[in-house]
Amino acid sequence: MQFRAFPISALFLLVIALCRPTAAQDGAGRVFPNGAQRGTTATLTFPAMAEVESATLEVDGAGIKPLGPFVKGVGKVEVAPDAAVGMQQVRLVGPKTATTPRPFLIGTLPVLLDAEALDKKAANDRLDQAQRIEKLPVVLNGSLAKSGDVDVYRLALKKDDCLVLGNESRLIAAPTNLGVYVRDLTGHTVPVTLDYRKRDPLYWCTIPADGEYQLQLFEITNNMGDVGEQTLYRVTVTTGPWLGYVTPAGGPRGATTHVTAYGWNLGGKPGPGTLSTDVAVPGDAGTGLPITVGGAPNSITFATSGSEELAEAEPNNRAEQAQPLPLPAVVNGVFGEPRDADWYRVTLKAKDVLVADIEARELDSYADVTLRVRDASGKELVSEDDLQNSRDPRVVWTAPADGAYTLELRDLAGNTRGGPSLFYRFHVAIAQSELRVIAREVAVSVKPGAKAEIPLTVYQSCLTGDITLRAEGLPAGITAETVTVKARPNRSEQTQTKLVLTAAADAKPGYALVRVLATSSGLRAAATWALTGDGGWTYGTGTTDRLVVLIPAP
Ligand SMILES: [Ca+2]
Ligand SMILES: [Ca+2]
Ligand SMILES: [Ca+2]
Ligand SMILES: [Ca+2]
């Protein structure tokens, strides 16, 4: 599909239908509301813990303080006035079980909650039941919990306002395909433009005249008849700034990068637009830095690196125009127009292991990048697109002989589309060692005198030393033997393994937050868990590296 503004189309419905996961997974972490304004207190509800007399809130992050234990899944939290804006994870640990962690967004804006989500007898399905929005900007947080549910809100707008509905429903790990109508009070529809470049489509429109309007929120597919409390939404309603993306999409740590920001109502100009600004990345930043621009209430992730970074230099559409790259390097490029091909050249020695890695989809770029490696004669040696699981391509490949090799990048649908939203970051290096561990359970329960397993997947590239896995911070009475995974020099490999936990017969009930650490010749990685939502959705981008190990109460 092209990057342009489409109305809600059959094609879009087909695409989101195809995106539904096939395997049902645990959604026992659900929490409501899904965020709070900093400097306020909020009452959180975890439906999975409704039967539990007393449970403890655990937060991955700083600035959220529980005001006492949670009773029957409900408790209050205080969000500090200086809490960092962005995503944290919250979960509840009871005497026998723990919920999965869920994204929780701390913001600067007031939150208006769906009256139906708070009170089963309330309704906001029609204009005469509409909830009033007194002041913009505001965050609407609710659920489309019954078949055909519509949530109606009412507000005053001015002629030529650019109204933006910044949708973050999948960001909070909800399986929601949010649809929006903007109507005047007579029911006349204001044409709305849909930008579905990101996993959460954004809606915007220009208001035709001063007056009162209604916003009607609904689930586009009715989730194939499977709507419920999990069909949550979080939408920022604003006539002010909203950030889409920036290019370049990242920069080196310890340096300032000049970027162009793309969004809406930027710099006081209504509608889609751009803004130039600088992004300073601290030397100790992680691999992603949350940034915001021009007073927008939302943030995006700015990628960072420890390498030299270059800008793509057009024209580079043919082998003989290939841009030479030092090794290692990070190139920030874009498929700027239809049929854009971006060629690069590296010089390798025989047996050099080339690691070529694309970041595009991961950064919410619209580009679906393919990567080809060719020798000096033009013969194709490697081709990778990784379309199957919709991930960005990565090539680990050993050069057969000394010489120059070309790397050709294209957008899979590039014959019909091009533009700034089709950006990418291209990492190239020789024999870059890498160690990563993913865990598949986020809470493990061990009875006194019994054993339990933490299943792990270990990813390694070009390691020379064997990998040691161990658990740190186990509760008293629980032990785990270390596990060794053989190093595979000059190779990229994944290994399934597990840590076995053993509880002493007299281990006391309780829990601890445990980290699983992997080390190999100077590299260290903590196992992470991808956060999933109801129905196995993994749209929430958060991860956690803390596992609940629980000795259940008898
Ligand atoms: Ca509702
Ligand atoms: Ca409703
Ligand atoms: Ca290009
Ligand atoms: Ca090009």
Summarize pLDDT for 363-411 with one digit per residue, the tens: 889 999 999 999 999 999 999 886 444 468 888 899 999 999 999 999 9
Which ligand neighbours the alpha carbon of 335 most closely? Answer: 3
Answer yes or no: is 254 within a domain: yes
Residue 352 above 60 pLDDT? yes
Q: Domain residues for 270? A: 242-305
What CA–CA distances, in Å, run from 183 to 34, 152, 188?
A: 27, 10, 5
Alpha-carbon span 54 to 370, nearest angstrom: 52
For residue 364, the model assigns a pLDDT of 86
**Ligand 4 center from residue 359 Cα (angstroms):** 17
* Ligand 3 center to 333 CA (angstroms): 6
Average pLDDT over residues 209-218: 98
What distance in angstroms lies between residue 142's CA and the mean position of ligand 1's atoms? Answer: 6
* Ligand 2: centre distance to CA 39 (Å): 29
pLDDT of residue 537: 59
So what's the pLDDT on residue 541?
60
Domain final residue, candidates 381, 407, 430? 430
- 449 domain-assigned: yes
Please say if the pLDDT value at position 224 is more than 90.
no
User: According to the model, what pLDDT value does residue 140 have?
Assistant: 98
Is 369:334 a contact under the CB 8 Å cutoff?
no
Under 8 Å between Cβ of 203 and 194: yes
pLDDT on residue 391: 67
* pLDDT(68) > 50: yes
**How much distance in Å is there from the Cα of 50 to the middle of ligand 1?**
20
Q: Does residue 331 sit in the same domain as residue 425?
A: yes
Higher pLDDT, residue 15 or 29: 29
Q: Is the same domain home to 347 and 405?
A: yes
pLDDT tops 80 at residue 11: no
Is the per-residue pLDDT at 479 higher than 60? yes
Q: pTM of this prediction?
A: 0.89
Centroid of ligand 4 to alpha carbon of 318 (angstroms): 8
248/539: higher pLDDT:
248
- pLDDT interval class at 173 (50, 70, 90): confident
CA of 340 to the centre of ligand 3 (A): 6
Q: What is the CATH number of the domain that holds 383?
A: 2.60.120.380
**Residue where a domain terminates, one of 257, 281, 305:** 305
Q: Please indicate, yes or no, whether residues 367 and 411 belong to a single structural domain of this protein.
A: yes
**Over the stretch 280-318, which tens digit does the pLDDT of each residue have?**
999 999 888 999 999 999 999 999 999 889 999 999 999
Higher pLDDT among residues 228 and 108, named by residue: 108
Is the C-alpha dihedral spanning 60, 79, 38, 539 positive or negative? Answer: positive
- Cα(152) to ligand 2 centroid in Å equals 7
Domain membership of residue 142 (yes or no) is: no
Among 32, 361, 87, which residue's Cα sits nearest to residue 199? 361
In whole numbers, what is the pLDDT of the chain averaged over residues?
A: 90
Distance CA 119, CA 129 (A): 14
The band of 230, judged by pLDDT with boundaries at 50, 70 and 90, is confident
Query: Are 382 and 491 in a shared domain?
Result: no
Do residues 441 and 526 both lie within one domain?
A: yes
